[in-house]
Each structure stands twice: as C-alpha cells, then as structure tokens.
Amino acid sequence: MRKPGGYTFLTGADGKTTEGETFTCRHCSALVMVGVKERPEDVGGLCKACMGLICARCVGKPCDVIEQKLARAEASYHARRSYGL
C-alpha cells in the first residue's frame, strides 16, 4: 500500500512485539493492519462514494462515514432532551 496512514507497535501477552503499517476505516473507525505493498482490495477496499479506505467488514455496505453517524446520534440526543426524555 502506498500511503497507509499510520504505523503501530503491538505487544502481545507473551511479550512478542508486532509492528506494521495501519489505516483507519473511514466508515467504522476500525484500525486495520496492512502488509508490505499490500493492495487496498486485500485488506478491505476503497469506497467510491467517499474515496476512503474501508475495512473488510464495511465492504459491500452503503457509504456511511463515521462523522455522519456521530452527527445523527447527536441530533437524536438533542431531540430527546428537548422532549424531556
């Protein structure tokens, strides 16, 4: 992958350290580990609607970026508060 976006070091319970490049899914904010020179299709995909990298769980689902989900949740909260709930 040309520009994965991040780099991480993970240490397991046994003390073994794994390092690698990462990207954050545009739809669900999941952290995805990327292999060396791996294609986006191999670890998830590229959403053509928002042009963001997505994880394997979000492939095939409609485009729903995390910012839109948060805005809907906030609007719902404010509506319930205005009704006294």
If you count them, how many residues does the chain have?
A: 85
Domain assignment present for 23: yes
Domain assignment present for 51: yes
pTM of the model: 0.67
Domain assignment present for 1: no
Q: What is the DSSP letter of 62?
A: P
Measured distance CA(78)–CA(76) in Å, rounded: 6
> How many domains are there within the chain?
1
Kindly report, residue by residue over 52-73, the tens digit of the pLDDT. 889 999 898 888 888 888 888 9
pLDDT value at residue 21: 86
Q: Which domain holds residue 60?
A: 6-82
End-to-end CA distance of the chain: 48
Domain assignment present for 11: yes
Structure tokens, 79: 């509506």
Structure tokens, 51: 């042009």
Whole-number CA gyration radius for the chain: 17
Kindly report, residue by residue over 13-65, the tens digit of the pLDDT. 898 988 888 888 988 889 888 877 787 678 888 888 888 889 999 898 888 88
Domain assignment present for 50: yes
